[in-house]
A and B are shown apart, each in its own frame.
Chain A
Amino acid sequence: MQQFPCPFCGLRDEREFHFAAEAGKIRPDTTQPVSDADWAAYLHNRKNPKGETREVWIHTPCAEVFILKRDTLSMAVLGCEPLRKDIP
């Protein structure tokens, strides 16, 4: 049973969290032409790193969406940051 930190609520049981996506994906501007390959890459490709990773997670009880830094091999949690920039 892992414990993840929510920037809003603090350390909580992993069952309260949902994995959303790898961090850093930028949605192509679909009002402009986007190639099939670029769209497919945005939709489906990922680094899926073995080791340190930055991911977007959701803390279900408070609905905070945030960035979680962790290690996919050791399961160590390396930190979290809110998506919003103006929170200290």
Chain B
Amino acid sequence: MTGFRTPQGGLIDRSKPLEFTFDGRSYSGFQGDTLASALLANGVRIMGRSFKYHRPRGVWGAWFDDPNAIFDVTLNGRTLPNCAATTTALIDGMQARAVNAFPTAKHDLKGVLDRFHALMPAGFYYKTFIWPNWHLFEGMIRKMAGLGRLDGELIAGYQSAQHHDRCDLLVVGGGGAGLAAARHAAEAGQNVLLIEDHPALGGGLFRRALPVEGQSPADWIAAQQAAILAAGGRILTGTTAFGVFDHNMVGLAQDHGFAKAPSLWRIRARRILMTTGALERPVTFANNDRPGVMGLDGALEYLARYGVAAGRDIAVLSNNTFATAAQPLLEQAGCKVTLLDATRGPAKAIGKTLRAVDHNGQRIACDTLLVSGGRTPVVHLWRHAGGKLDWNNTISAFVPGHAPDGMAAAGAANGTYDLDDALSEARAVALNHAAPPARKPVPMPLLQPDTNSNTRQWIDLQHDVTLKDIKLAAQENYVSVEHLKRYTTLGMAPDQGKTANMAGLAAMAQLQGQSIPETGTTTFRPPFVPVPLELYHGARRGQLFNPLKRLPLENRHRAAGAALGEYGGWLRPAWYSDIDAEVRMARNHVGLLDATPLGKIEVMGPDAAKFLDFVYYNTIATLKPGHIRYGFMLTEGGIVFDDGVVARMDPNRFVISCSSSHVAGVTALLESWRQDGNDPDRVFIHDTTANWATLTITGPQAKPVMQALDLGVDLAGFAHMTWQTGHFHDTPLRVARVSFTGDTSFEITLPSAQAEPFWDTALQLVQAENGGPIGIEAVSHMRAEKGFIIIGKDTDGETMPHDLGFSIPRRKKRAAFVGDRSLHSETANRPDRRQLVGLRSDTLLPTGAHLVTGKRSIGTVTSSYHSPTLNHPIALALLENGANRHGEAITVWHMDREIPATVTAPCFLDPKGDRLDA
């Protein structure tokens, strides 16, 4: 038992005790504690195990820089894996368990692994497990690896709110520099947002524990806070800037407490001021991983924020004057303090339970060793934004150099450690003025590790990277910083090497006989601290992840008992009762289909005809007003992109009815050709798909239904592939005679708002003719019976129009059109192109089966149904040279099974088209 709660002090609420457990044992803490501070206060030393050797680990830091204390935490039946004990606020009833330790962190059975550490140097797995095969060892290794356990349970209501906002100045970090800057800028009229990741503002001012500009830290902080708010500034605490992205977009994660999803703020800041402070740097010496060895700043934070002393008998090993300033604070708390100068001679921690430190030939008894090897400015965000770093020799650290656009740094983050200097720098930079030169630099000599020693000196505490590993990497020529990191796994633990990276760099520089800046720095990647994946999710979930397009008649379809399914992004009736029955009904009587998703893109203007001639494979200019033509749009590569019909309204106006899933694509394609290559004042494009509903009446009884509907069209003179205007009551509408079924069909297009009354009337009349609604599946059957293709199903990324039997424009069309030249490439001319055919067989062929000769695929079955009309199986296929193979026997291959079939023409029903006008 070493750490203890001081009788007073800290930001905790001692009137609110909280109970919790760790590794099965009960403890208590106070409101305002973190799990780590509460455990430390209870004298708990061992809070985790290292990743590789399972060495006991105490807490090293007091905030996100701690690499050691990682718990799976359960509260009210909800478990979160991998919670950093140092940043998890204590709540009554929490049950915490150290990850990767069994049964407990204190008595971890895998602790024996450390005895074999000599067999597990850096990268040992690259040299072993080669015979017979890695996969044999992998399962065991995977079970040993990993930290927390994911329970697979969902947390109800776990959804990140998403905010979008902007500001003139985003101040990241609410310590002294950040508070001063935010106040200064806000009072100068800037729209300021100050964020701080701790629950309380103040940053390092608490642990510094000295007056600030003549006020106590708490008073000064409160005064700045009040002034910022009074000047219209905003403050978010418990909020971390986790990344800076393009064009000054900063991602903020706002914490809402345990098992609650944090909010994501996307802030567009005119300027970003980084006042993120600096982190304690460890010292590399023998046995420096022993529990009880802690960062000095961490210990001071525990003292100042939580009223917890890290130990009673404390030695402080440091290279700087912060240690001197810390001594009285620790002594006031009742600790005995010995200061040791880290620049003078190597140190060695003594005792499994720390009892002394050997330093400079002396043995100093202590139960706790606080280390401070300098400071590392927190420059992550600077690097995210592409800012440069400079090496500063006085403080032996990388500091912000050339600034990214709209970004500045001040205070400790900028290497300005003296508070007065930091405050004046922050105030200047807040107004975009040059900072005055620092008056009181705080020198921090570089500590060189003893690379000749044979002792075990830790660089990365979580990942068990020791100085020997760095040496091995150097010896094996993994010397570039990235090789070093990847080979040894330095800095790749959940703390991402916030403290370890600099120690590793220093060691590598020393081993290479070069300076640290010559050795380089690792890249800093977002997120700055781990954030829940949910942060990025928010409302983009479930049906909203990719919302379906809904039909204006959805309620009618539901009422009619439709099974709704997703087709090309639309929720459509797949069937109402029975697909075969629907087909027979439509073939024998009449069917009513909701074809609303069909595209309705208007193309208008004096150049419209010429324009369509260019974007269509077929010639459109010769189409007469009142008429309709079926055609293809190709890609410039000559591949069939869409099929559909074009109706000419008048000489300068057309409506393109593209397939339902292609509306956005076709519109964009038309727009880009219109504006890039044509005169945009002579042709216009307008997508009206969402404004109109389309209902199709199809079948031998379609005409009588139309008669009864009485839409004011001339039914007697209504030829196939023409259209007329009509009206339903007072609503104008269009009626087109086109057919996807091969039967007489009328396609009625009217404003969506009138869809329901029209449907009601039409359905009644259809039913009167022994018909009813039909779903998309029935239509698919009927299309296949006729050999009508569905683009993307019966065609693929290689299909050209002549593969589908449409070869005249390819041969004859004179005008230029999209894709024209590609239809004459070597490949386009090959005799073995895959062409559309029909297949007959005794049994239903599986869609997706291949056609083969031997084991070579020469085609695929693209659509296959039992035809309700013909009462036998039918299929469409793409087959090499298929057009010339009608009548041939062919082998269909599915999952190693062969099925005989015969090649036919693609049209199975009424090839002459008699039914169209039946």
Per the CB under 8 Å rule, do A and B touch in the complex? yes
Any B CB within 8 A of the CB of A20? yes
Any A CB within 8 A of the CB of B108? no
Task: Report the bound CA distance from A83 to B680 in whole Å.
Answer: 10
Contact B820 A36 (CB under 8 A): no
User: Which of B416-424, B513-521, B667-675, B832-840 is the interface stretch?
Assistant: B667-675
Which of B680, B685, B822 makes the CB contact (< 8 A) with A39? B822
Contact A27 B671 (CB under 8 A): no
Contact B266 A1 (CB under 8 A): yes
Chain B residues near A36 (CB-CB < 8 A): 825-826
Task: Report the bound CA distance from A27 to B873 in whole Å.
Answer: 47
Contact A28 B668 (CB under 8 A): no
- Residues 10 to 67 of chain A near chain B (Cβ within 8 Å): 18, 20, 27-31, 34, 36, 39, 43, 56, 58, 60, 63-65
Task: Report the bound CA distance from A60 to B667 in whole Å.
Answer: 10
Contact B821 A58 (CB under 8 A): no
Task: Report the bound CA distance from A31 to B817 in whole Å.
Answer: 9
Contact B676 A30 (CB under 8 A): no
- Residues 511 to 547 of chain B near chain A (Cβ within 8 Å): none
Task: Report the bound CA distance from A65 to B685 in whole Å.
Answer: 13
Task: Report the bound CA distance from A23 to B680 in whole Å.
Answer: 18
Any A CB within 8 A of the CB of B249? yes
Which of B246, B677, B822, B825 makes the CB contact (< 8 A) with A75? B246
Q: How far is the CB of A84 from chain B (nearest CB, A)?
A: 6
Which of B247, B677, B820, B825 makes the CB contact (< 8 A) with A1? B247
- Residues 217 to 267 of chain B near chain A (Cβ within 8 Å): 245-247, 249, 266
Chain B residues near A39 (CB-CB < 8 A): 821-822, 825
Chain B residues near A1 (CB-CB < 8 A): 245-247, 249, 266, 268
Q: How far is the CB of B341 from chain A (nearest CB, A)?
A: 46
Task: Report the bound CA distance from A77 to B405 in whole Å.
Answer: 13
Chain B residues near A29 (CB-CB < 8 A): 816
Chain A residues near B815 (CB-CB < 8 A): 31
Contact B821 A83 (CB under 8 A): no
Contact B672 A43 (CB under 8 A): no
Chain A residues near B814 (CB-CB < 8 A): 31
Known contacts A2-B247, A65-B675, A84-B675: A58-B668 contact under CB 8 Å: yes
- Residues 787 to 838 of chain B near chain A (Cβ within 8 Å): 814-817, 820-822, 825-826
Contact B637 A56 (CB under 8 A): no
Contact B247 A3 (CB under 8 A): yes
Known contacts A43-B637, A83-B676: A58-B816 contact under CB 8 Å: no
Residue of B nearest to A86 (CB): B681
Chain A residues near B245 (CB-CB < 8 A): 1
Task: Report the bound CA distance from A15 to B246 in whole Å.
Answer: 13
Task: Report the bound CA distance from A74 to B246 in whole Å.
Answer: 9
- Residues 661 to 694 of chain B near chain A (Cβ within 8 Å): 667-668, 671-672, 674-677, 680, 685
Contact A2 B672 (CB under 8 A): no
Residue of B nearest to A77 (CB): B247
Any A CB within 8 A of the CB of B636? yes
Q: How far is the CB of B502 from chain A (nearest CB, A)?
A: 28
Which secondary structure characterizes the binding site on chain A?
A: loop
Task: Report the bound CA distance from A3 to B247 in whole Å.
Answer: 7
Task: Report the bound CA distance from A43 to B266 in whole Å.
Answer: 39
Known contacts A2-B247, A3-B247, A74-B386: A31-B816 contact under CB 8 Å: yes
Residue of B nearest to A64 (CB): B675
Q: How far is the CB of B817 from chain A (nearest CB, A)?
A: 8
Q: Interface 1/0s, chain B 459-496, versus A by CB < 8 A?
A: 00000000000000000000000000000000000000
Contact A84 B680 (CB under 8 A): yes
Q: Interface 1/0s, chain B 105-123, versus A by CB < 8 A?
A: 0000000000000000000
Residue of A nearest to B386 (CB): A74
Q: How far is the CB of A57 from chain B (nearest CB, A)?
A: 10
Contact A58 B636 (CB under 8 A): no
Contact B672 A56 (CB under 8 A): yes
Task: Report the bound CA distance from A43 to B818 in whole Å.
Answer: 11
Q: How far is the CB of A67 from chain B (nearest CB, A)?
A: 10
Chain A residues near B246 (CB-CB < 8 A): 1-2, 75
Contact A56 B676 (CB under 8 A): yes
Chain B residues near A75 (CB-CB < 8 A): 246-247
Task: Report the bound CA distance from A75 to B825 in whole Å.
Answer: 38
Task: Report the bound CA distance from A61 to B683 in whole Å.
Answer: 19
Task: Report the bound CA distance from A83 to B637 in whole Å.
Answer: 24
Task: Report the bound CA distance from A1 to B536 in whole Å.
Answer: 13
Most buried by A among B672, B814, B815, B821: B821
Residue of B nearest to A38 (CB): B821
Task: Report the bound CA distance from A63 to B826 in whole Å.
Answer: 36
Task: Report the bound CA distance from A75 to B266 in whole Å.
Answer: 18
Q: How far is the CB of B52 from chain A (nearest CB, A)?
A: 39
Which of B249, B672, B822, B826 makes the CB contact (< 8 A) with A58? B672
Chain B residues near A27 (CB-CB < 8 A): 677
Chain B residues near A64 (CB-CB < 8 A): 675
Chain A residues near B820 (CB-CB < 8 A): 30
Residue of A nearest to B679 (CB): A84
Chain A residues near B247 (CB-CB < 8 A): 1-3, 75, 77
Most buried by A among B676, B677, B826: B676
Residue of A nearest to B245 (CB): A1
Most buried by A among B245, B247, B816, B822: B247
Residue of A nearest to B675 (CB): A65
Most buried by A among B246, B674, B685, B826: B246
Residue of A nearest to B673 (CB): A65
Chain A residues near B668 (CB-CB < 8 A): 18, 58, 60, 63
Known contacts A29-B816, A74-B386: A83-B266 contact under CB 8 Å: no
Known contacts A1-B249, A1-B266, A2-B247: A83-B675 contact under CB 8 Å: yes
Q: How far is the CB of B457 from chain A (nearest CB, A)?
A: 41
Q: How far is the CB of A73 from chain B (nearest CB, A)?
A: 10
Contact B816 A30 (CB under 8 A): yes
Chain A residues near B826 (CB-CB < 8 A): 36
Q: How far is the CB of A34 from chain B (nearest CB, A)?
A: 5
Most buried by A among B671, B672, B677: B672
Known contacts A2-B247, A34-B821: A65-B676 contact under CB 8 Å: yes
Most buried by A among B675, B815, B826: B675
Task: Report the bound CA distance from A20 to B637 in whole Å.
Answer: 15
Residue of A nearest to B816 (CB): A30
Task: Report the bound CA distance from A58 to B664 in whole Å.
Answer: 13
Residue of B nearest to A18 (CB): B668
Task: Report the bound CA distance from A56 to B676 in whole Å.
Answer: 9
Task: Report the bound CA distance from A60 to B664 in whole Å.
Answer: 10
Residue of B nearest to A31 (CB): B816
Chain A residues near B672 (CB-CB < 8 A): 20, 56, 58, 65
Residue of A nearest to B687 (CB): A63
Q: How far is the CB of B811 from chain A (nearest CB, A)?
A: 14
Residue of A nearest to B248 (CB): A3
Residue of A nearest to B826 (CB): A36
Known contacts A27-B677, A28-B821: A65-B671 contact under CB 8 Å: yes
Chain B residues near A76 (CB-CB < 8 A): 405
Q: How far is the CB of B242 from chain A (nearest CB, A)?
A: 14
Residues of B within 8 A of A (CB): 245-247, 249, 266, 268, 386, 405, 636-637, 667-668, 671-672, 674-677, 680, 685, 814-817, 820-822, 825-826
Residues of A within 8 A of B (CB): 1-3, 18, 20, 27-31, 34, 36, 39, 43, 56, 58, 60, 63-65, 74-77, 83-84
List the 8 shortest-distance A-B pairs measured between CB atoms, nearest first.
Answer: A65-B675, A30-B816, A1-B249, A2-B246, A39-B821, A75-B246, A63-B671, A30-B820
17 contacts between A and B (CB under 8 A): A1-B249, A20-B672, A30-B820, A30-B821, A31-B814, A31-B815, A39-B821, A43-B636, A56-B672, A56-B676, A58-B671, A58-B672, A63-B667, A64-B675, A65-B671, A83-B680, A84-B680
Apart from A43-B822, A75-B247, what 18 extra A-B contacts exist at CB < 8 Å?
A1-B245, A1-B246, A1-B247, A1-B249, A1-B266, A1-B268, A18-B668, A20-B676, A30-B817, A56-B672, A58-B671, A60-B668, A63-B671, A64-B675, A65-B672, A65-B674, A65-B676, A75-B246
